[in-house]
């Protein structure tokens, strides 16, 4: 069905089901209970799950398949975002043209960067992409201020009158899809549970599902096989008379367009952009997501993106008072000791947890969460060898 084999179809259906039922799944704890802060089922966070999922899926097409480690992927996200917001400011508040614009702009930019960067491989490629991203960041921050809004970035302002929208005087434009406001939500209360169904989330989720489907097709296509060949042995590819460059460039551009798509969606959800979106730490974050989930696997990047965004939101919200309420049952001395030990890792210190986790994953689980899952599965099933999915190989970059 859909041109997928049985295993991929199963995975795809699971992803569709999870993303459609996310408002339920991510809200397992009743409202007002002590665990309610672990709920992730609010629109803002759910949107980020799927949007960064798209970004990571795109990054994975480049890194997971060809092994080229781009350290400047956030630049495409940022460029796409700027494209989208200008579309909204000038042409239409409908999100579809904005997103299309974002993909086109990011694609063109990726073509230019890729054309130059792909002349080199290995660490030189990483440094070149990093250099391009940092250049875009620096320019967006300083000289290009008339286009990018500099440090303050761009927002939709009351004075903006897009051509294709009929705004009242003084009305601030809002992103919509044929009149449906991105922020409109339907809230459902069942007992003490509160579920929020947000228009923006569902639009982003549908886009994510499409992007995911496309990535499965790319992974299973002859083109995908060619990209894997680039990763495993470029020299041998040359000897068989194939030029690797067009394939890697295509992968790079596709991956950049995915990033642009994510950037466009970010703007559609929350109509603002700032240059910090292109900073190299943002590029590092994409790499983190992909590796954490499992580079080269289909589902890994989505898992990684969700995991990191969840950590970022939930762990950074825990404060001292929360910790005190958790460990209140312990004797005083022990409670203080545990709180002192745990406190540096939560709240503002979540980056520390992230860094540690990341190191642990790279050291012990180079295949990421997916490999972890398979190992656990392997413990419980006797037929270890047969259960291993072929795509779950460890990532090795091109040298």
Partner 1 sequence: MEAIILQILNGLDKGSAYALIALGLTLIFGTLGVVNFAHGALFMIGAFCAVTLSRLFTLSHEVPVPGEVDFLGNPKMENIPYIYDILGEATGATIIDWAVPLSILFAIPVMMLIGVIMERGLIKHFYNRPHADQILVTFGLAIVLQEVIKYFYGANPIPTPAPDAFRGSFDFGAALGFDPNLIIYPYWRIIYFAFAAVIIGAVFAFLQFTTFGMVVRAGMADRETVQLLGINIDKRFTIMFGLAAAVAGLAGVMYTPINSPNYHMGMDFLVLSFVVVVVGGMGSLPGAVLAGFLLGILESFASMGAVLEVLPGLNQIIIYLVAIIILLTRPRGLMGRKGVMED
Write each residue from 230 to 249 as x if it is in contact with partner 1 (CB under 8 A), else as -, in one continuous string: ----x---------------
**Measured from the CB of residue 330, what is the shortest distance to partner 1 in angstroms?**
23
Restricted to residues 57-76, the positions that interact with partner 1 (CB under 8 A) are 67, 69
Task: Note whether 257 and 107 are within 8 A (CB).
Answer: yes
Window of 99-107, 333-341, 347-355, 374-382 that interacts with partner 1 by CB under 8 A:
347-355
366 binds partner 1 (CB under 8 A): yes
Whole-number Å distance between alpha carbons of 66 and 228: 6
CA quadruple 307, 312, 314, 318: dihedral sign: positive
Assigned token pair, 180: 């449906």
- Give Cα 355 distance to the centre of its chain: 18
148 binds partner 1 (CB under 8 A): no
Window of 19-27, 78-86, 298-306, 390-398 that interacts with partner 1 by CB under 8 A:
390-398
**Measured from the CB of residue 58, what is the shortest distance to partner 1 in angstroms?**
18
- Give Cα 266 distance to the centre of its chain: 11
174 burial via Cβ count (<10 Å: 0-12, 13-18, 19+):
middle
Task: Note whether 398 and 238 are within 8 A (CB).
Answer: no
Residue in the block written with tokens 């990726």: 110
CA nearest to 153, candidates 249, 272, 324, 284 = 272
**Measured from the CB of residue 144, what is the shortest distance to partner 1 in angstroms?**
8
Phi, psi of 154 (to 5 degrees): -120, 140
CB nearer to partner 1: pick between 2 and 356: 356
115 binds partner 1 (CB under 8 A): no
CB nearer to partner 1: pick between 193 and 343: 343
**Measured from the CB of residue 343, what is the shortest distance to partner 1 in angstroms?**
9
Choose which of 29, 120, 155, 193 interacts with partner 1 (CB under 8 A).
120
**Measured from the CB of residue 194, what is the shortest distance to partner 1 in angstroms?**
34
Assigned token pair, 63: 């890194």
Window of 18-26, 28-36, 91-99, 129-137 that interacts with partner 1 by CB under 8 A:
129-137
- Which residues have a Cβ under 8 Å from the Cβ of 258 and sit 6 or more positions away? 54, 55, 57, 58, 59, 61, 211
Whole-number Å distance between alpha carbons of 209 and 186: 22
386 binds partner 1 (CB under 8 A): no
Window of 15-23, 222-230, 281-289, 378-386 that interacts with partner 1 by CB under 8 A:
281-289
Window of 39-47, 89-97, 125-133, 372-380 that interacts with partner 1 by CB under 8 A:
125-133
Q: How many residues sit close enough to partner 1 to count as binding (CB under 8 A)?
A: 45
CA quadruple 222, 228, 229, 234: dihedral sign: positive
66 burial via Cβ count (<10 Å: 0-12, 13-18, 19+):
buried
Window of 318-326, 362-370, 371-379, 382-390 that interacts with partner 1 by CB under 8 A:
362-370
Task: Note whether 327 and 343 are within 8 A (CB).
Answer: no
308 binds partner 1 (CB under 8 A): no
Task: Note whether 155 and 82 are within 8 A (CB).
Answer: no
CB nearer to partner 1: pick between 330 and 359: 359
**Measured from the CB of residue 133, what is the shortest distance to partner 1 in angstroms?**
9
Choose which of 197, 351, 378, 388 interacts with partner 1 (CB under 8 A).
351
Whole-number Å distance between alpha carbons of 347 and 8: 38
Task: Note whether 209 and 22 are within 8 A (CB).
Answer: no
| Residues within the interface to partner 1 (CB under 8 A) | 67, 69, 116, 119-124, 126-128, 130-132, 134-135, 138-139, 141-144, 234, 280-281, 284, 287, 291, 344, 349, 351-352, 354-356, 358-359, 362-363, 366, 395-397, 399
């Amino acid at each position: 069905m859909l041109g997928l084999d049985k295993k991929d179809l199963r995975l795809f259906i699971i992803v569709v089901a999870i993303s459609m039922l996310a408002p339920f799944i991510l809200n397992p704890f009743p409202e007002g209970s002590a665990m309610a802060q672990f709920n992730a089922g609010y629109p803002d966070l759910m949107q980020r799950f799927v949007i960064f999922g798209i970004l990571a899926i795109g990054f994975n097409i480049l890194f997971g398949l060809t092994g080229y480690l781009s350290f400047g992927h956030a630049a495409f996200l940022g460029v796409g975002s700027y494209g989208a917001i200008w579309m909204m400011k000038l042409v239409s508040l409908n999100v579809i043209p904005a997103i299309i614009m974002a993909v086109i702009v990011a694609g063109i930019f990726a073509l230019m960067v890729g054309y130059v960067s792909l002349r080199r491989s290995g660490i030189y490629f990483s440094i070149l992409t990093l250099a391009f991203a940092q250049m875009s960041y620096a320019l967006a921050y300083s000289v290009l201020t008339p286009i990018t809004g500099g440090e303050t970035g761009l927002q939709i302002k009351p004075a903006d009158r897009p051509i294709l929208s009929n705004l009242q005087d003084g009305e601030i434009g809002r992103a919509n899809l044929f009149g449906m406001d991105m922020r409109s939500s339907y809230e459902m209360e069942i007992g003490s549970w509160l579920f929020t169904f947000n228009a923006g989330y569902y639009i982003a989720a549908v886009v994510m599902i499409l992007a995911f489907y496309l990535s499965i097709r790319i992974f299973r296509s002859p083109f995908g096989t060619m990209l894997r060949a680039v990763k495993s042995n470029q020299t041998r590819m040359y000897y068989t008379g194939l030029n690797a460059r067009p394939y890697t460039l295509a992968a790079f551009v596709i991956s950049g367009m995915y990033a642009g798509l994510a950037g466009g969606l970010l703007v559609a959800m929350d109509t603002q952009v700032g240059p910090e979106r292109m900073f190299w730490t943002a590029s590092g974050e994409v790499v983190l997501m992909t590796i954490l989930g499992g580079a080269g696997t289909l589902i890994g990047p989505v898992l990684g993106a969700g995991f990191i965004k969840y950590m970022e939101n939930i762990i950074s919200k825990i404060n001292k008072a929360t910790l005190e309420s958790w460990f209140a049952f312990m004797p005083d001395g022990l409670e203080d000791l545990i709180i002192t030990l745990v406190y540096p890792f939560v709240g503002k210190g979540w980056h520390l947890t992230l860094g540690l986790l990341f190191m642990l994953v790279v050291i012990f689980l180079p295949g990421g969460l997916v490999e972890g899952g398979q190992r656990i599965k392997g413990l419980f099933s006797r037929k270890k060898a047969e259960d291993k999915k072929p795509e779950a190989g460890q990532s090795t970059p091109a040298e």
